[in-house]
Amino acid sequence: MYPDFPACRIVPRDQHAISRANISENALKVLYRLKQEGYQALLVGGGVRDLLLGREPKDFDVATDARPEEVRRIFRNCRLIGRRFRLAHVHFGPEIIEVATFRGGGAGLEDDEEPGDRHLENGMIVRDNLYGTREEDALRRDFTVNALYYNIADFSVIDYAGGLEDLQAGRLRLIGADPELRYREDPVRMLRAVRFAAKLGFNIDPACERPLREQGRLLGGVPPARLFEEVLKLLHSGTGLAAFEKLRHYGLFGQLFPATEECLAHEDHDFPITFVSRGLGNTDQRIQEDKPVAPAFLFALLLWEPVRRRYFTLIDRGLDPFEAMIRAGEDVLAAQLARVSIPKRFSLPMREIWELQPRFEQLDGKRPQRLAAHPRFRAAYDFLLLRAESGEADPALADWWTRFQEASAPEREAMSGTSRKRRRRRRPAAGDGAGGGEAGASAAAGGGGVGDGG
């Protein structure tokens, strides 16, 4: 059935670099416990791959011949999740060890071969709960380097698909003879190819690279909620900028963010691409420094250019800036949700970041003080800085806000002209909406906050 797979290779414990000292204690607990109960128990996936590469694994995935219900019986701290792909989560405080039962079905079945609880629709796997042997489990995985097992029974590494060789060569290769078929089974594998290429610095094997451009549109058949998870993994993993560039290179970004891609592809200015790239670069840096990152900010960043354009269209139709920004945000979000869902708990703060942007242009009276007290101020200010750095907003305006935050209370009053005398004197100048503050004139002259990039 798989004539192109090299024979299974078993590397004994003294001939590979995986040490139990580098495996999470909780993962070891799960492995030992399953073994003690008479089941097979192996580490698989990213954990094994990353340990062999000398990297710190993000999480540890366990594969076993125990059924999900049996796993739940063994571990009290266990929950079964997933319909499409049922698996057990064993909870240890904040750490979750994912335990998956060996799957069968292999790679590359046709629609009419629907054995047991594996179900395909138009070649896409919509349910994958047909259990199988360890060998079958290896062959239904995505990339060869993700199909390496570390066996707790004898501490050996098992390679069914040539993953060790590919790991050494820095190559991402789909298991099976027909990459197109594997992408059709699950189009998310295209995004995974990009993610691992960015994260590991690996090359995508030419045969697996070629279909990416043509098959990208299959992502349209993937549930938007699943794509949300994948977008976070792609762009919030420390190598988001590289992932973004690769996604665009393969034409996949446009499948996820069509409105943004439309703006980037037909840009008449450099700043939209500079803005997104800088933002993603900053995010990568924050992750490398172990600082928190927010999905709301990420999506605000990715969708800003379509929002900004829509904003100006609505301004031209006579809406006031605040109303225009609210409507622009709603319109862009509504279209985006058809592709990649964004849960409300992220889309609400995302829209606030946008809606606060026009308020940065109001520098007079009590308004700066009120804006600075807004719970979303910090994120919105960071957003403004990024806009200024990429040449879209006026740097003088961003600078005014930087100084405003550092200023003492009396200095702030002076800056925004809140003392009675100043106010009376300055009020007429505030007529254009850009405000009578000391930076007001230059901010207004520079096109204000939501600038036209000129």
Does 142 qualify as catalytic in the annotation? yes
> Radius of gyration (Cα) for the chain, nearest Å?
26
Please select the residue that binds ligand ATP; options are 58, 73, 249, 366, rule is CB under 6 A: 58
118 lies in the binding site for ligand ATP (CB under 6 A): no
Cβ atoms < 10 Å from Cβ of 412: 17
CA distance 332 to 318: 19
Q: Which is nearer to ligand ATP, 165 or 262 (CB)?
A: 165
The β-bridge relationship of strands 171-172 and 41-44 is: unpaired
Can residue 180 be called a binding residue for ligand ATP (CB under 6 A)? no
* Whole-angstrom distance, CA of residue 192 vs CA of residue 198: 10
Count of residues that interact with Mg ion, criterion CB under 5 A: 4
Instruction: Between 142 and 305, name the residue whose CB sits nearer to ligand ATP.
Output: 142
CB 248 within 8 A of CB 265: no
Angle between helices 321-336 and 295-316 (to 10 degrees): 120
* CB 90, CB 97: distance < 8 Å: yes
Q: Which is nearer to ligand ATP, 175 or 443 (CB)?
A: 175
**Residues 187-206 vs ligand ATP: string with x where CB under 6 A?**
-xx-----------------
Q: Which residue has the tokens 């450099």?
A: 270
Residue 284 interaction partner, one of ligand ATP, Mg ion, none, beta carbon < 5-8 Å per kind: none
Our CB check for Mg ion shows the closer of 97 and 252 to be 97
Q: Left if phi > 0, otherwise alpha if psi is -120 to 50, otherwise beta: which for 409?
A: alpha
x/- mask, Mg ion, residues 10-49, rule CB under 5 A, reads -----------------------------------xx---
Smaller CB separation from Mg ion, 24 or 442: 24
Query: Which of 416, 408, 412 minimizes the C-alpha distance to 443?
Result: 416
Q: What DSSP string describes 130-164?
A: -B--HHHHHHTSSBGGG-EEEETTT--EEESSSHH
Smallest gap from Cβ 55 to Mg ion, in A, equals 12
The single residue among 22, 39, 53, 59 that binds Mg ion, judged by CB under 5 A, is: 59
Residues in a beta bridge with 62:
43, 99
Rounded to the nearest whole angstrom, what is the least distance from the CB of residue 393 to Mg ion in the complex? Answer: 39
> Is 61 a catalytic site residue?
yes
**Could you say which DSSP state residue 87 is in?**
E
- Closer to ligand ATP at the Cβ: 55 or 213? 55
128, 142, 166, 394: the catalytic one is 142
Residue 141 binds what, of ligand ATP, Mg ion, none (CB under 5 to 8 Å, by partner type)?
A: ligand ATP
* Rounded least distance, CB 142 to ligand ATP, Å: 4
Q: Which does 189 bind (CB under 5 to 8 A by kind): Mg ion, ligand ATP, none?
A: ligand ATP
The contact pattern for ligand ATP, residues 36-55, with x = CB under 6 A and - = no contact, is ---------xx---------
Q: How far is the CB of 61 from ligand ATP (least distance, A)?
A: 5
Binding partner of residue 261 among ligand ATP, Mg ion, none, CB cut-off 5 to 8 Å per kind: none
Q: Which residue's beta carbon is nearest to the bound ligand ATP?
A: 46
Site residue total, ligand ATP (CB under 6 A):
12
Of residues 135 through 154, those in contact with ligand ATP by CB under 6 A are 141-142, 146-147
Considering only residues 412 to 441 of the shown chain, the ones binding ligand ATP according to CB under 6 A are none
For the record, the structure tokens of 64 come out as 């076993």
E-assigned strand segments in 54-152: 61-64, 78-81, 87-92, 95-101, 118-121, 124-128, 148-151
Using the rule CB under 6 A, is 61 a contact of ligand ATP? yes
Catalytic residue, from 61, 159, 284, 364: name it: 61
Q: What is the dihedral of CA 124, 255, 246, 98, to 10 degrees?
A: -40
Q: How far apart are CA 454 and CA 446, in angstroms?
A: 9
What phi, psi does 96 have (nearest 5°)? -115, 125
Query: In the complex with Mg ion, which residue's Cβ is closer, 100 or 443?
Result: 100
* Catalytic residue check, 65: no
Spatial contact of 189 and 205, defined as CB atoms under 8 Å apart: no
- Report the residue number, 58 or 249, with the smaller CB distance to ligand ATP: 58
Taking the CA atoms of 304, 309, 313 and 319 in sequence, report the sign of the dihedral they define.
positive
Q: Which residues contribute to the site for ligand ATP (CB under 6 A)?
A: 45-46, 58-59, 61, 141-142, 146-147, 186, 188-189
Q: Which residues contribute to the site for Mg ion (CB under 5 A)?
A: 45-46, 59, 61
Q: Give the residue numbers marked as catalytic.
A: 59, 61, 142
